[in-house]
Amino acid sequence: MIRTRDLRMSFDTGRGRRRRPVDAVRGIDLDVDRGEIVGLLGPNGAGKTTTLRILSTLLRPTSGTVEVCGHDVRTAPREVRRRLGYVAQGGSTSRRARCGDEATDRGMLYGLTRRAARERAHDLFDRLDLGDLWERPTGSLSGGQRRRLEIATALVHRPELVVLDEPTTGLDPQSRANLWDHIRDLRESHGTTVLVTTHYLDEADALSDRLVVVDHGSVVADGTSDALKADLDGDVLTVRLADPSEAGRAALCLRAVLGHAFSPTDDGTLTGPLHAGSGGLAVVVRELDRHDLAVVGLDVRRPTLDDVFLTLTGRSLRDAAA
Amino acid sequence: MQLLRDATVVFRRQVRLNLRNPAWVLLGVAQPILYLVLFAPLLGPIATQIGVENAYTFFVPGLVVQMGLFGALYVGFGLLAEWREGVLEAERVSPASRGALLLGRLGRDVLQLGIQCLVLVGAGYAFGMDAPWSGALAGVGLALLLGAAGSALSNAVALRTRSEEIMAPLVNVVTMPVLLLSGILLPMTLGPGWLRSVSDVMPVRYVVDAVRSAFAGDLAVPAVGIGLAVTGTLLVLGLTAGVLAFRREDT
């Protein structure tokens, strides 16, 4: 459904003497099969939106090949546009317009008759719980409703592939979970292929069959979330001390027994990997006890995508996104 | 004809949005009416001195051109608002022809300017303007073609600059000399030689002359032909710039 090879995009930023090229995308190979839900994950500025805009024919890539829905975005953009639904980050409807009109008009731009567009839009409104908002101006909707409306307007022409750019940014947790259900439902009921960008790890984890992690314009990992986590050696250990001021001493002690650094925090917790074959928890507990370090909490968990991201990019996704 | 079909979809959406907010359509016509009420009476006593018999017959055609062109030059601001709302991008990921995105909007502008011009001409008749209907309609038609050119140009500038702050002074820089040098307010023949020479290079002056001839009922004079040619040229230039701007991908 999507196939890119060595996709590159550079912009000129600034004018005159300050003009300099910025490489937003530096050689991305992306493959998405029919019916897949793929999450494109990365911090702000990683090149996610640029990649999506190239796939949607809004931007012409500097170099590389890009095939979407079986057509080259450069030579057959109209064929690509017919088959693609694009849900932009910033919305696509006029605040003054009525919801139903926006969805109907959008469908008609894809060659549908008014009647067909209206019928399909009504259908989508029902499915996306927008049923009674048909006559309302889009400016009066809540954040979650607005986002569902954006998705509805992008689906009226029944695209084979839907790309969504950070669809849940700024939504409350309930609306996010609700939107995930709707996105999954797209595949279940129509076999639609979905490419979604996000910088929420839980979202990528819950929603996608496969994750593509990008950073600084290149792919740094590609696989299922389980496979990416399995690549991380071992579990994650968190130790909570009774006395936060002892964190420094505890870090030294953990280093001595496990052989690698733990990062202490001000509230007296230390987090780091617990590799298989390092003697396990028992050694840690014994060592801390021997140094009279009172422990109030010990936690060993499977790594999360956050840990994966930290390992891949050297940064926490949350920091990077802030 | 896909172009016309897509343009109709865009046009109907735009007209519907305008109908939902008719206040500024009325505002657009308020300015020329004010000129008609507050400025034209000043022309009355000096009408014979500036070589016209009826001040309104002289002044209404100028106002029609002013409204047709100046109203159109501001439509780019509306396009920038749509761009910020993401509407433009959504239309550009659709297979609709790029020209249709421009044409549909031009249709809306011409319709709106047409209504405003007709209100103005009606008011002119009420004030005692002496012009044949056919001539007045032909004059309005020519002004609307100029309006379409201005609207296309304004859209092109909006898409190139992507900034209200750059666009506002730009529109001002264009409108001021056009207003002063096209004989909209007073005939250029009143001025000294050098001023007339400067106005000779102002394309809109020829359109004003042509519309004025049309209102006077003289359709078969050279002035009308020249005005039509100038308007046609401006329209081609405007449309070219507009379509190119809509075609160009954004960065």
For residue A78, what are its two tokens? 């109209």
Decide if A320 is inside a domain: no
**A135 inside domain:** yes
CA distance A184 to A204: 12
Residue A312 lies in a domain: no
Residues 129-168 of A with CB under 8 A from B: 153-154
Chain B residue with Cα closest to A153: B90
| Statement to judge: residues A93 and A186 lie in one domain | yes
Q: What is the predicted pLDDT for the residue at A278?
A: 61
Residues A281, A202 share a domain: no
| Residue A13 forms contact with B (CB below 8 Å) | no
**Are A218 and A260 found together in one domain?**
no
Q: Do the domain assignments include residue A308?
A: no
Give the rounded distance of the alpha carbon of B117 from its chain centre.
Answer: 10
In CATH, what number is assigned to the domain containing residue A186?
Answer: 3.40.50.300
Domain identity same for A10 and A50 = yes
The strand pair at A63-68 and A210-215 is best described as unpaired
The structure tokens listed for A236 are 């994650």
- Residues A178 and A258 occupy one common structural domain: no
Q: Are strands A37-41 and A193-198 parallel, antiparallel or unpaired?
A: parallel
Query: Looking at the 3D structure of chain A, how many domains does it have?
Result: 2
Residues A143 and A57 in one domain: yes
Burial class of residue B8 (count of CB atoms within 10 Å of its CB; 0-12, 13-18, 19+): middle
CA atoms within 13 A on the CB side of A315: 17
**Contact flag B250-A106 (C-beta cutoff 8 Å):** no
Q: What pLDDT is attached to residue B215?
A: 95
Cα separations (Å) of B147 from A214, B28, B32, B64, B204?
A: 49, 13, 15, 10, 11
Domain that holds residue A243: 233-302
Domain co-membership, A120 together with A145: yes
Q: A204 with A237, same domain? A: no
Q: Tell me which chain A residue has its CA closest to the CA of residue B14.
A: A97
- Is A134 part of a structural domain of the chain? yes
Q: Which two tokens stand for residue A185?
A: 């439902």
Mind listing the pLDDT tens digit for each residue in A94-106?
Answer: 999 999 999 999 9
Are A109 and B20 inside 8 Å of each other by CB? no
What is chain B's length?
251
Strand order in the sheet with A37-41: A84-87, A161-165, A193-198, A37-41, A210-215, A218-223
- List the structure tokens of A113: 């008759």
pLDDT, one tens digit per residue, over B61-120 is 999 999 888 889 999 999 999 999 999 999 999 999 999 999 999 999 999 999 889 989
Range of the domain at B18: 2-247
Measure the CA–CA gap between A9 and B99, rounded to whole angstroms: 27
- State whether residue B17 sits within 8 Å of chain A by CB: yes
User: Which of B1, B4, B9, B108 would best serve as a mutation to test chain A binding (most A beta carbons within 10 A)?
Assistant: B9
The answer on pLDDT for A125 being more than 90 is yes
Q: Which tokens sit at A213?
A: 């992690």
A122 has a pLDDT exceeding 90? yes
For residue A228, pLDDT beyond 60 = yes
A15 and A157 co-located in one domain: yes
Whether residues A243 and A277 fall in one domain: yes
Q: Compute the distance between CA of residue B185 and CA of residue B39 in angstroms, rounded to an integer.
A: 9
Q: And the tokens for B196?
A: 């007339």
CATH number, domain with residue A298: 3.30.70
- Chain A closest CA to B86's CA: distance in Å? 4
Give exposure, A64-100, as e/b (b: 16+ Cβ within 10 Å).
Answer: bebbbbebebeebbebbbbbbbbbbbebbbbeebbbb
- Quote the number of domains for chain B: 1
Q: In whole angstroms, how large is the CA radius of gyration of chain B?
A: 19
Residue B67 burial (10 A CB sphere; 0-12, 13-18, 19+): buried
DSSP state of A233: -
Tell whether A313 is covered by a domain: no
Decide if A259 is inside a domain: yes
Does one domain contain both A115 and A250? no
The pLDDT of residue A321: 47
Query: pLDDT tens digits for A178-227?
Result: 888 989 988 998 899 999 998 787 888 888 999 999 988 999 889 988 88
Distance between CA atoms of residues A37 and A58, nearest Å? 22
pLDDT of residue A277: 63
Residue A112 confidence class, pLDDT cut points 50, 70, 90: very high
Average pLDDT over residues B40-48: 81
Residues A138, A218, single domain; the answer is yes
Which residues are registered as beta bridge partners of A20? Answer: A13
Picking from A11, A94, A111, the nearest residue to B17 by CB comes out as A94
- Whole-complex ipTM: 0.86
Instruction: Judge contact between B13 and A97, C-beta under 8 A.
Output: yes
CA–CA gap between residue A207 and residue A229 (Å, rounded): 16
DSSP state letter for A315: S
